[in-house]
Amino acid sequence: MPATLTIAPTSAHPLTVNRLGYGTMRLTGPEVWGEPANRPEALQILRTAVELGVNFIDTADYYGEDVTNRLIREALHPYPSNLVLCTKVGATRRPDKSWVPFNTPENLRTSIENNLRTLGQEQIQLVHLRLMGHGPVPLQEQLGAMFEMQREGKILHVGLSNVTREELETGLQLGDIATVENMYSYAQRTTVQLPHGANPGGEEVLDLCEQHQIPLIPFFSLLHALPKQLDAIGEVARRHNATPAQINIAWLLHRSPWILPIPGTSSLAHLRENLGAQNIHLTAEDMAYLG
C-alpha cells in the first residue's frame, strides 16, 4: 500500500502528499455553521495533524462561513513548505444555513479572492469546483472561469467535486483536472441523496480517475461507516484489534493507490485514532471478505 500519491504527476508542478489527509468541515459549529464548541482543541487538532505527518488539508470558505480557513491560518501560518491546502468553490450559505450554488464566473472569482485572503496565500495549490446540480450556469462556463484564474496564477491545480461520471468526462475534455472529491466510503459507494442535493459516489468515477492518474478524495468517508448491520467491517475490526472507523479508512487506502482519504473530526482523540488506520494492513482475504 503506497504511503504517498502525487497530484498532477505529469504536470510542471506535481504535489506529492501523504495518503491520509484531514478534512476540516467538522471543526465548525453544528450544521457546519459558526465557531467550534472548543476553539483551543480545534486549533490543536490542526497542529497535531501536521505534527503527525498530515500534509493535505481540505477546507472551504463556506464552512462556517470562513471559520475553517481562519482556524487553519491561526494554527499553521506560516505554512510548512510541504503542506497542501485544498479549498472548494461553487457554493455558499444562506442565513438559514442552507447550501446554494455560487458558481457564475463572478461568484467563483469572488470565492477565490476570499479564500486567498482568509488563508493568507498568494496562490492556492488546489481548488475544487463543487457542482451543485444542473443549474443555469453550464459546466463549461464554470470551469472556464477556473482555468482563467489558473492562468493568472491564483490557482495552481483545478479539481472537481460532487461530479457524475458524465460530468468528469466533460471536464477532462475542457482541461487538466487534477483531482476529484466525491462522497465515498465502504458503506456508501454510489449516489446518495442529502438535504442539499444528490451526491455522486466515488465508485462511479474511480476507474476513470485511475485511468487518468487523478487522485480520488473521499468526503464524508465516515458518515455511513458504522451501521449496525455491517457485520463484515466489525469482524475485520476485531481481527486487527481496530475500530470499525479505522477499518473503513484502511479499506479506502487499500481499495486503490489513487484514493486520498481526508477523514474529519472535532476530537483530538479521534484524530489520532483515524491516523492510526494507515498502519493497518488489510490482507487480500480481508478485502475479499469486505467485498
In tens, the pLDDT along 46-69 reads 999 999 999 999 999 999 999 999
Q: Please tell me the distance from the alpha carbon of residue 213 to that of residue 198, in angstroms, as a whole number.
A: 26
What is the per-residue pLDDT across 231-273, written as a single tens digit (0 to 9) for each? 899 999 999 999 999 999 999 999 999 999 999 999 999 999 9
How do strand 124-130 and strand 84-93 relate by DSSP bridges? parallel
Confidence tier at 24 by pLDDT (50, 70, 90): very high
CB atoms inside a 10 Å sphere around CB 46: 23
The residue with cell 481526508 is 262
Partnered with residue 158 across adjacent β-strands are: 127
For the chain, domain boundaries? 4-290
Percent of the chain residues topping a pLDDT of 70: 94
* Between 144 and 133, the higher pLDDT residue: 144
Contact assessment for residue 24 and residue 58, using Cβ atoms and an 8 Å cutoff = yes
Q: Which residues are catalytic?
A: 63
pTM (predicted TM-score): 0.95
Q: Please tell me the distance from the alpha carbon of residue 278 to that of residue 289, in angstroms, as a whole number.
A: 19
Contact assessment for residue 248 and residue 221, using Cβ atoms and an 8 Å cutoff = yes
Mean pLDDT of the chain: 93
pLDDT of res. 229: 47
User: Is pLDDT at 213 greater than 50 in this prediction?
Assistant: yes
Percent of the chain residues topping a pLDDT of 90: 84
pLDDT of res. 258: 98
pLDDT of res. 22: 98
Nearest to 61 by CA among 99, 14, 105, 15: 99
* Between 183 and 227, the higher pLDDT residue: 183
The tally of CA atoms less than 13 A away on the side-chain side of residue 153 is 2
Domain 4-290, CATH homologous superfamily name and number: NADP-dependent oxidoreductase domain (3.20.20.100)
pLDDT average, residue stretch 75-82: 98
